[in-house]
């Protein structure tokens, strides 16, 4: 689909402040099958179709530990968001999900509260408790973005883990995973919408929502 169609849908939302415009933009992106699931991008050897936990550590975590504001290739970001969307959509057909807490002694479940764009906090938690694995499962309990400077990187990192190991990580949606809240300024508790546009352009924002 033409980029101008996507831009028009997003522009409509910005002018009218109407959630239905966001849904229209989402619908356009979901139809762009050619950019969704083939996985390989021009960025090094990152292939989402064969992404492993080791690959997430190498291509995402280590990169952002060195420079939290290092931008990824645009095609990789598009593919990552679309691939993760497919996985989550199959996993979460409704608003309530039942998750069985691991009962084995060497398994554990870590529940994480509001990260609000603080990538360093996420890395600290992974350092202290270990990164997501099938025996070290994380639930991020909403409010992942807004306020802080690196909500985009946190989401891309967590979604990369979701692609590599769907059973390792889960998300709940908080009031900051909301387009109207995201449109607020950082000073008023928002900032994620502006962060998305600044780093990757308007198109990415609709894909996140």
Question: Helices (H) and strands (E) in the chain — how many of each?
Answer: 10, 3
Nearest partner of 83 among 17, 151, 30, judged by Cα: 30
Cβ–Cβ under 8 Å, residues 122 and 131: no
Residue 23 Cα distances to 20, 175, 203, angstroms: 5, 17, 13
Cβ–Cβ under 8 Å, residues 84 and 163: yes
Backbone region of residue 201 per phi and psi (left: phi > 0; alpha: psi in -120 to 50; beta: other values): left
Cβ–Cβ under 8 Å, residues 206 and 22: yes
Catalytic hit among 59, 116, 176, 209 = 176
57 catalytic? Reply is no
**Residues annotated as catalytic (active site), given as ranges:** 176
């Amino acid at each position: 689909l033409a980029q101008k169609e996507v831009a028009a849908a997003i522009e409509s939302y910005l002018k009218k402040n109407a959630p239905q415009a966001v849904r229209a933009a989402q619908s356009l992106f979901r139809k762009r099958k050619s950019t969704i699931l083939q996985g390989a991008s021009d960025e090094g050897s990152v292939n989402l179709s064969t992404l492993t936990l080791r690959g997430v550590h190498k291509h995402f975590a280590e990169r952002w530990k060195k420079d939290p504001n290092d931008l990824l290739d645009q095609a990789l970001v598009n593919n990552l968001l679309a691939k993760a969307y497919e996985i989550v959509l199959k996993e979460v057909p409704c608003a309530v999900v039942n998750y069985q807490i691991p009962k084995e002694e060497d398994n554990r479940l870590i529940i994480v509260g509001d990260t609000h764009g603080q990538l360093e906090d996420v890395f600290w938690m992974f350092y202290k408790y270990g990164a997501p694995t099938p025996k070290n499962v994380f639930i991020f309990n909403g409010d992942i973005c807004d306020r802080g400077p690196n909500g985009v990187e946190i989401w891309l990192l967590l979604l990369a883990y979701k692609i590599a190991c769907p059973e390792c990580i889960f998300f709940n949606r908080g009031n900051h995973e909301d387009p109207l809240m995201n449109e607020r300024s950082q000073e008023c508790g928002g900032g994620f919408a502006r962060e998305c546009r600044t780093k990757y352009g308007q198109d990415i924002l609709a894909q996140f929502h």
